[in-house]
Structure 1
Amino acid sequence: MPSRTPHTPPPYRSSWFRRAATAVAVLATAIGTAGAAPGAIAAPAPAAPTAAHPAAVAAAPDIPVANVKAHLAQLQSLATANSGNRAHGRPGYKASLDYVKAKLDAAGFTTSVQQFTAGGATGYNLVADWPGGNAGQILMTGAHLDSVTSGPGINDNGSGSSAVLETALAVAREGLKPAKHLRFAWWGAEELGLIGSRNYVNALPTAERSKITGYLNFDMVGSPNPGYFVYDDNPALEAVFKDWFAAKGVATEIETEGDGRSDHASFKNAGIAVGGLFTGAGRTKTSAQAQKWGGTAGQAFDRCYHSSCDTTSNINDTALDRNSDAIAHAVWTLSAN
């Protein structure tokens, strides 16, 4: 629209305009404060969120540890019914995947099963997307679902798989509407060398990889003689977990035992930011760590690591509870803006 030189009213009209404007302002004030106490001033409308001042992050719900343990009991039953394990290429693994998928489907997730071949056997990844959020910014959370052939793999890694599952189900229960798109994953053939997660990442086009703002990995989060270890691969993701535990009065250490040995490595090697939690495997807890966290010094964090005794009796409830809540906190926080 072309500009136009403002018209200046003559003096007699100017005074009339001023009186009219004043009357309108008084009327608007009266309407805006109707029902308010005498002399009250209407509060200004809250400012819209901006990049510099993002919207407040809603607190994550408590994740009931009883629900997580119920998933572990199901995984134990499936292993017991299928030669005592849930390993890649064995019926116990596929039964585990079907159990997780059914829970997610019923909760409203869009799920997909991806096949691959390893060691002459068919393997499976399960990927679940929560509807909504910015498809150009994806927060992924995952855990490997397979066990070794020697046992049911309840801590390694039924614990991480079940905690991630219950967090996903909490997203559905709460009707979470995150700013970022949420994607959850359960990997196959991790125990054979991160094969499932590597297959997934390698199959992603470059443009799709670039949409993943972060991947959070949870491999063993209920060790019976637990430590509280945080991945330090990315400072921002590390801080979310460290600050949460610090607020609970729980000291943490940097995770070193499993560095590069779990599925986060598949993402890190592709240039994707990674973070996660770990409660320890076959290494021995030191005296200093026992003083810090309790438990038994001179004993492995998990004496049943990769053994037949990695059953539902091989779980520390406190560690499982804390880590499950920390996972939910990270998902809610990192997906909010």
Structure 2
Amino acid sequence: MSRVLPARLLRAATTLAGVAALALAAPAAASPAPLAAPDIPVANVKAHLQQLQSIATANGGNRAHGRPGFKASLDYVKAKLDAAGYRTTVQQFTTSGAVGYNLLADWPGGDANAVLMVGAHLDSVGAGPGINDNGSGSAAILETALAVARANLQPRQHLRFAWWGAEELGLRGSRYYVNNLPSAERSKIKGYLNFDMVGSPNAGYFVYDGDNSDGVGAGPGPAGSAQIEKVIQDYFRSINVPTEGTDFDGRSDYGPFISVGIPAGGTFTGAEGRKTSAQAQKWGGQANVAFDRCYHRSCDTTSNINDTALDRHTDAIAHAVWTLAAAPRA
């Protein structure tokens, strides 16, 4: 997760009008009910994290933009997706004097005019391997994508997964992608789900606040964001885990999407902020301690992961993908 807070992104969502809401209504009675999402084995997600750790260890201890560890991470993810039947595209850009890459993976089928995107940044900071930030989100969406392939899911909406480069330098990869999309292609994206840090050791359970129901911060997301929030909240309610809203503050890759009016949502387990006593009572863990004490440090390794949080958030991702991709076109 980036420390950069681009000012133009913070309140962009509140100034946009005329954006079509994300369709979340149930299918007509004559249509079959959507399939339930599978339980995603956390062991599979952790196996990807171990691979990312090994890549970092073999490449100077990190997976940062412009470093060999990032490209090796991208090659690992791409190979898994290619083998599973995805149509992958590597998008190249240059920033901070180095070549960067985004990886896009399209699942064949679905309405090409109604695209649901799921993304996570793949780069680490230079100080460490970035296993929670953001190996966790990258591995969770990778295993969700592989579960889509195993199930041979045939969603109504077209599914596109993305692994972004250079997020830690200010959302450079996702911004490049959005800024270079023709307006007709932007209008096809009906929702963007972002997962940046979903295994913090002193974990919280935060859901991006699509309707600004907490009344503070950067305001609501574009029309449709509240529906995404509700789908994710419904999953956590179903497993009796309370959630809190987290603001669209521009710190992660949803920023470029909401700036052009694309509905967004996702989950987050916390970074350098400290868990309050009330949150510790609600979620367990340690009060007055950072959600992730290894945030942007060399100790962000495979030992810096809360397995329970990673498991729950990965299953929430799968639930959101299965539910939202089954929705009819807006």
TM-score, length-scaled by structure 2: 0.86
What corresponds to 2:271 in structure 1?
281
Matched, 1:250 2:227: no
Correspondence for 1:140 among 99, 117, 120: 117
Correspondence for 2:287 among 294, 297, 311: 297
What corresponds to 1:237 in structure 2?
228
Secondary structure in 1 matching 2:321: helix
Secondary structure in 2 matching 1:191: helix
Alpha-carbon distance between aligned partners in 2 of 1:321 and 1:186, rounded to the nearest angstrom: 20
Alpha-carbon distance between aligned partners in 1 of 2:299 and 2:184, rounded to the nearest angstrom: 44
In the alignment, residue 245 of structure 2 is paired with which amino acid? I
Correspondence for 1:166 among 143, 161, 171: 143
Correspondence for 1:196 among 148, 156, 173: 173
Deviation of residue 140 (structure 1)? 0.2
Q: Deviations over 1:138-197 (max 9, x none)?
A: 000000000000000000000000000000000000000001000000000000000000
Deviation of residue 200 (structure 1)? 0.2
In the alignment, residue 63 of structure 2 is paired with which amino acid? R
Alpha-carbon distance between aligned partners in 1 of 2:209 and 2:277, rounded to the nearest angstrom: 23
What corresponds to 1:37 in structure 2?
none
Q: Deviations over 1:288-307 (max 9, x none)?
A: 00000000001000000000
Alpha-carbon distance between aligned partners in 2 of 1:144 and 1:327, rounded to the nearest angstrom: 15
What corresponds to 2:59 in structure 1?
82
- Contact residue 27 and residue 33 of structure 2 kept, 8 A: no
Alpha-carbon distance between aligned partners in 2 of 1:296 and 1:247, rounded to the nearest angstrom: 25
Correspondence for 2:77 among 75, 95, 100: 100
Matched, 1:272 2:253: no
In the alignment, residue 252 of structure 1 is paired with which amino acid? T
Alpha-carbon distance between aligned partners in 1 of 2:59 and 2:246, rounded to the nearest angstrom: 33
Correspondence for 1:178 among 149, 155, 159: 155
Secondary structure in 1 matching 2:173: helix
In the alignment, residue 107 of structure 1 is paired with which amino acid? A
What corresponds to 1:91 in structure 2?
68
Q: Percent identity, aligned pairs only?
A: 74
What corresponds to 2:5 in structure 1?
none
Alpha-carbon distance between aligned partners in 2 of 1:76 and 1:86, rounded to the nearest angstrom: 9
Secondary structure in 2 matching 1:332: helix
Q: Deviations over 1:79-100 (max 9, x none)?
A: 0000000000000000000000
Higher relative contact order (CA 8 A, sep 6+): 2
In the alignment, residue 251 of structure 1 is paired with which amino acid? P
What corresponds to 1:226 in structure 2?
203
Alpha-carbon distance between aligned partners in 2 of 1:51 and 1:101, rounded to the nearest angstrom: 37
In the alignment, residue 173 of structure 1 is paired with which amino acid? R
In the alignment, residue 323 of structure 2 is paired with which amino acid? T
Alpha-carbon distance between aligned partners in 1 of 2:292 and 2:35, rounded to the nearest angstrom: 35
Secondary structure in 1 matching 2:89: strand
**Number of residues of Structure 1 aligned to a counterpart in Structure 2:** 288
Alpha-carbon distance between aligned partners in 1 of 2:241 and 2:36, rounded to the nearest angstrom: 19
Deviation of residue 51 (structure 1)? 5.1
- Uncovered stretches (5+) of structure 2, i.e. residues with no partner: 1-25, 211-224
Alpha-carbon distance between aligned partners in 2 of 1:189 and 1:231, rounded to the nearest angstrom: 22
- Uncovered stretches (5+) of structure 1, i.e. residues with no partner: 1-48
In the alignment, residue 81 of structure 1 is paired with which amino acid? A
In the alignment, residue 304 of structure 1 is paired with which amino acid? C
Q: Deviations over 1:36-63 (max 9, x none)?
A: xxxxxxxxxxxxx965775411100010
TM-score, length-scaled by structure 1: 0.84
Alpha-carbon distance between aligned partners in 1 of 2:285 and 2:307, rounded to the nearest angstrom: 13
Q: CA, structure 1 residues 50+171, in 2 after alignment: closer, same or farther (shift >3 Å)?
A: closer
What corresponds to 1:111 in structure 2?
88
Matched, 1:311 2:288: no
What corresponds to 1:327 in structure 2?
317
Deviation of residue 255 (structure 1)? 1.1
Alpha-carbon distance between aligned partners in 2 of 1:50 and 1:272, rounded to the nearest angstrom: 23
Alpha-carbon distance between aligned partners in 2 of 1:255 and 1:147, rounded to the nearest angstrom: 22
Deviation of residue 260 (structure 1)? 1.1
Give 1 or 2 for the bigger CA radius of gyration.
1
Alpha-carbon distance between aligned partners in 2 of 1:80 and 1:266, rounded to the nearest angstrom: 32
Deviation of residue 259 (structure 1)? 2.4
